[in-house]
Structure 1
Amino acid sequence: MTGGDELHEVVIVGGGFSGIAMAIRLLQAGFDDFVLLERAKELGGTWRDNQYPGAACDVPAHLYSLSFEPKPDWSRAFATAPEIQRYVLEVVDRHGLRARTRVETRVSGLEYQEETGTWTIRAEGPAREEQLRARLVVVACGGLSNPAPLPIEGTAGFQGKLFHTAEWAHDLDLAGKRVGVIGTGASAIQVVPAIAERVGELSVFQRTPPWIFPRNDREFSEAERRFFTEHPRARRWLRSTIFTVTELMSLGMVWRTPLTGVLERVCHEHLARQVPDLVLREKLTPDYRLGCKRMLLSDDYYPALCRAHVSLVTEPIARIYPRGIVTRDVRGRELERELDVIIAATGFDVPVDSPPFPVVGAQGRSLHREWAAGAEAFFGVSIAGFPNLAMLMGPNTGPGHTSVLVYTEAEIERVIAMLRHLRAEGLKCMDVRPEVQARFNRGVQRRMRYTNWTSGCHSWYLTRSGKNTSLWPGFAAEYALRARRFSPADFHCER
């Protein structure tokens, strides 16, 4: 163990979009004593890992970028994963963040020291274990960083190739192969069309059909890219317009309103246009309210399923056997489907009870135990009993309709305001008042009852008990406005 006396004003855990944005804003705000810890060999987070064929963002590119680091020359309306990752690394290099970053450094635990008002960070580096101290820790691990394990019997015995979309086997040639894709969520509807032309046979295993809205993606012309580069006001207007449209869409996606029915009709018409086969169309028709699960965007998923060598399998998976997948129909009859490759498009193991390492706060409090009944925080950032700790993309700060970066930037400004108050007042620590946090979260959950997310379907938005700890039950603009109003009166402050 080394580095026990290494003290920084801030330590950021996680080098994805939110951690990088936090680092940039620290520099811009005059806080230059920080270090960023990243467990992988490179920065980028989810866009570093998710480089499967067809990977792209489902938020328009001009909104899915940092407001203080605009990119006027996006190549497409919806940026691909490689282009987003290039953008992220360009931003990193422009601000010289690599000199303040330690890659291949996995945090194994955080512990608050009440005597000094600092945090001890235990980490495993590439050559040794490290121990750092920080006045304030920002946990920016994100929710899409750990692939969800495949909860199916027999995975270890499969004789072919099996991998998650976030761990794509880039050296594997799929040409002529019999491929199975498990899942029909956001990654599946991108990867299926991307590989359909190359494979010999493709079986898509569906549990629940998603609502799919037309994507209307296209390339930007060279003239358009040049125009947005030369006219920043026009680019800002476009970004604002996209944001306004997504906010208006939330009226039908977050709550049940007449717009919900309109959006459902658009999705039904999109399905009918692209899938002429009535039997297949019926299998692809959702039986739950739009918005209860994540609504997806695609122009080529349905046509891919209509190909002669592609089949949609709706019978439940019983198990994986050495040569493929066994399904079981409603009568209990089993059918073996031989496959060369199984691709798990099963999403991510989104943390609902704590970050992926122990966090011990004041008086020995365990964050894992504190959140056992459901994660709660004040604006998703501050947690009572865990002074000088900040979360990015914490509880109830996810969007159901727009760019997550709108929320993340507001959270970052809360952290900056907290740091400024700590420094200006010479404080040892700031800890959100329990009654403030409780009142805030009662309001969040009270509003949650009226959203489409609680209308009865099963989704990763909800905990096992049915509590939504993932999303904000309202407009993104409302969250951003409220989150940026930082009040020291909401905190216990100690000198």
Structure 2
Amino acid sequence: MYTVIIIGSGFGGQCAAINLKRRGIDDFLILERREFMGGTWAQNSYPGAAVDVQSPLYSIESEPYDWSQMFAEQDELREYTDHVIDKHQLRQCTQTNTNVQQIRWHEERQCWCIATQHPQHGEQQFEARFVINASGPLSTPVIPDFNGKDSFNGESFHTNNWNHDYDHRSKKVAIIGSGASAAQIIPAIAHEVEHLHVFQRTPHWVIPRPDYRFKGWQRWLLRRRWIYRALREAIYWGLESRVIGFKYSSTMLELLAGKRARQHIKRQISDPELRRKVTPDFTIGCKRVILSDTLYPALCRDNVTLHDKHDGIAAINAGGIATEQGEQLDLDLIIYSTGYDATDGVISYPVIGRDGQQLADVWRDYPRAYLGTSAPGFPNLFIVTGPNTGIGHTSAIFVIEAQMNYIMTALEEVGRRYKSVIEVKADAEERYTQHIHQEMEKTVWHTGGCNSWYKSKSGKVIAMFPGFSFTFRRWTKNFRQADHIFS
């Protein structure tokens, strides 16, 4: 039996493993369903993939790096991930190609039983006193069930599983979706394909991307820990100020960001019809704001056609896509940039807790968790990037590291008390969840007039945390013993 099993080897799993090692807990195992480690930035290798948070902040605080540019591209993020994994010798305590089928709480043994499937070893069973789920909210891609989708004779794939063996150059291509991934792919391939059809359900607000490639002498300076830390702090507080607009002043948000986004459209697009198509009808910030200097110029190309909601997909057929305007588009490739099950599907496998209750049933109305991390009835289980831990203005890794404060303190408290089980109280989770959704009503994600992936089927905003990230960090550091049961 392991002390801890970590599910997922992305930044959440890496942070968990590093923190366990620091506390002398080496009896842990990381389970990774893919054949490689690294999570998001190892899996998402589509053309143009890059981070939209400045690299010195979008990194583990204790693991600074010699970044080449302000907004790192996928290959450099993959190198950083490998650097962290190798530095802390995490490959030795990881089993890849291991897909978790189910986890079940065993009351008598006071442990979690983890059932997995491995292509060589078949079905495997593991036991652990604690489970840290770090599978991530952006790990289960979703492809809508378009009429005739399976009849297409050409190539098709989701952006999460980009087929690098397929040569898209000089091909007739359609990309379905216009969110963050599509906004990076479109400029990266538009000049390479014969024609690119972009199917947009709703437009996103786009603002310029303030990227910057560090000069040699700047990288030399940033290798000094205190200078790197100072830059990280400056970036953090600059981004944190956005919360004022997201939550407290939509007028300020519109005056600053909204005006900038409208000017961006006016400056880069001259065609009035295309301007109309790309201009959202909701408050900026309600949906994810895209950073790009190259998206609009790509959409202006002669070989790119933007289809909006008035000219959407009627059906997919053997030859390509039939539009709602009655046009048949003959295609070689369909790219699905249609997102992830990031709210209702926070955990993709069955979780069975005390008395046989399933987490999916508890979350039937909407996903919820104390500090976005633990749920009553599911002892010794911690969820990294759980409900309402997403962050729309700063680094997701900052929030992951904040969750580690709570998780590691919980483990320490169990040991200090000579107990074996910790479980959050139902009333504590209820108070926390009510407070979160009361605060959410003040935010642009609730009032901005859009329907985003931030919301679950219930209509509640599940993906985002409604406040400052330093508030969340303070809450995770202030461990409330009275909110938990030790046994």
Coarse TM-score class (shorter-chain normalised): over 0.9
1:292-371 pair list within 5 angstroms: 292-314=286-308, 315-329=311-325, 334-352=326-344, 355-371=347-363
Contact 1:174 1:199 in 2 (8 A): yes
Give the secondary structure class of the aligned counterpart of 2:104: strand
Alignment match, 2:46: 52
Q: Displacement of 1:253 after TM fit?
A: 3.1
Give the secondary structure class of the aligned counterpart of 1:187: helix
Alignment match, 2:239: 246
Give the secondary structure class of the aligned counterpart of 1:225: helix
TM-score with structure 2 setting the length: 0.97
Q: Residue deviations 1:384-412, cap 9 Å, x none?
A: 01111111000100001111111100111
Alignment match, 1:10: 4
Q: Displacement of 1:146 after TM fit?
A: 1.3
Alignment match, 1:4: none
Which of 17, 24, 32 pairs up with 1:30? 24
Q: Displacement of 1:155 after TM fit?
A: 1.4
Q: Displacement of 1:219 after TM fit?
A: 1.4
Change (3 A) 1:293 1:380: same
Alignment match, 1:123: 116
In the alignment, does 2:152 pair up with 1:158? yes
Alignment match, 1:190: 184
Which of 93, 101, 104 pairs up with 2:94? 101
Contact 2:346 2:386 in 1 (8 A): no
Q: Displacement of 1:135 after TM fit?
A: 1.0
Q: Displacement of 1:220 after TM fit?
A: 1.3
Alignment match, 1:427: 419
In the alignment, does 2:202 pair up with 1:208? yes
Contact 1:111 1:121 in 2 (8 A): yes
- Greater CA deviation, 213-222 or 361-370? 213-222
- Greater CA deviation, 43-52 or 150-159? 150-159
Q: Displacement of 1:429 after TM fit?
A: 0.6
Contact 1:163 1:169 in 2 (8 A): yes
Alignment match, 1:145: 139
- Greater CA deviation, 147-156 or 298-307? 147-156
Q: Displacement of 1:218 after TM fit?
A: 2.5
Q: Displacement of 1:307 after TM fit?
A: 1.0
Query: Counterpart of 1:236 in structure 2: which amino acid?
Result: R
Q: Displacement of 1:128 after TM fit?
A: 2.5
CA–CA separation in structure 1 for the residues paired with 2:453 and 2:100: 25
Q: Residue deviations 1:276-335, cap 9 Å, x none?
A: 111111111110111111111001000111111111111121111111111114xxxx11
Contact 2:343 2:387 in 1 (8 A): no
CA–CA separation in structure 2 for the residues paired with 1:371 and 1:157: 35
Q: Displacement of 1:254 after TM fit?
A: 4.1
Q: Residue deviations 1:420-475, cap 9 Å, x none?
A: 11111111211101000000110001111111111231111111221111110001
CA–CA separation in structure 2 for the residues paired with 1:259 and 1:244: 17
Query: Counterpart of 1:223 in structure 2: which amino acid?
Result: W
In the alignment, does 2:13 pair up with 1:19? yes
CA–CA separation in structure 1 for the residues paired with 2:427 and 2:152: 52
CA–CA separation in structure 1 for the residues paired with 2:346 and 2:9: 18
Give the secondary structure class of the aligned counterpart of 2:266: helix
Q: Residue deviations 1:361-400, cap 9 Å, x none?
A: 1111110100000111100111101111111000100001
CA–CA separation in structure 2 for the residues paired with 1:189 and 1:393: 24
In the alignment, does 2:408 pair up with 1:412? no
Give the secondary structure class of the aligned counterpart of 2:186: helix
CA–CA separation in structure 2 for the residues paired with 1:253 and 1:487: 29
Paired residue total = 482
Contact 2:343 2:463 in 1 (8 A): no
In the alignment, does 2:369 pair up with 1:386? no
Alignment match, 2:79: 86
CA–CA separation in structure 1 for the residues paired with 2:369 and 2:345: 12
Percent identity, aligned pairs only, is 39
CA–CA separation in structure 2 for the residues paired with 1:268 and 1:326: 32
CA–CA separation in structure 2 for the residues paired with 1:196 and 1:353: 33
Q: Displacement of 1:252 after TM fit?
A: 1.8
Which of 202, 211, 224 pairs up with 1:217? 211
Query: Counterpart of 1:253 in structure 2: which amino acid?
Result: F
Give the secondary structure class of the aligned counterpart of 2:327: strand
CA–CA separation in structure 2 for the residues paired with 1:318 and 1:173: 27
Alignment match, 2:269: 275
In the alignment, does 2:163 pair up with 1:169? yes
Contact 2:366 2:457 in 1 (8 A): no
Which of 219, 228, 232 pairs up with 1:235? 228
Give the secondary structure class of the aligned counterpart of 2:298: helix
CA–CA separation in structure 2 for the residues paired with 1:317 and 1:249: 36
CA–CA separation in structure 2 for the residues paired with 1:101 and 1:371: 30
In structure 1, the gaps of 5 or more residues are 1-6
Contact 1:69 1:91 in 2 (8 A): yes
Q: Displacement of 1:353 after TM fit?
A: 5.0
In structure 2, the gaps of 5 or more residues are none
CA–CA separation in structure 1 for the residues paired with 2:116 and 2:22: 27
Q: Displacement of 1:159 after TM fit?
A: 1.2
Which of 287, 291, 308 pairs up with 2:281? 287
1:438-477 pair list within 5 angstroms: 438-455=430-447, 456-477=449-470
Query: Counterpart of 2:90 in structure 1: which amino acid?
Result: L
CA–CA separation in structure 2 for the residues paired with 1:91 and 1:299: 31
Change (3 A) 1:47 1:360: same
- Greater CA deviation, 7-16 or 213-222? 213-222
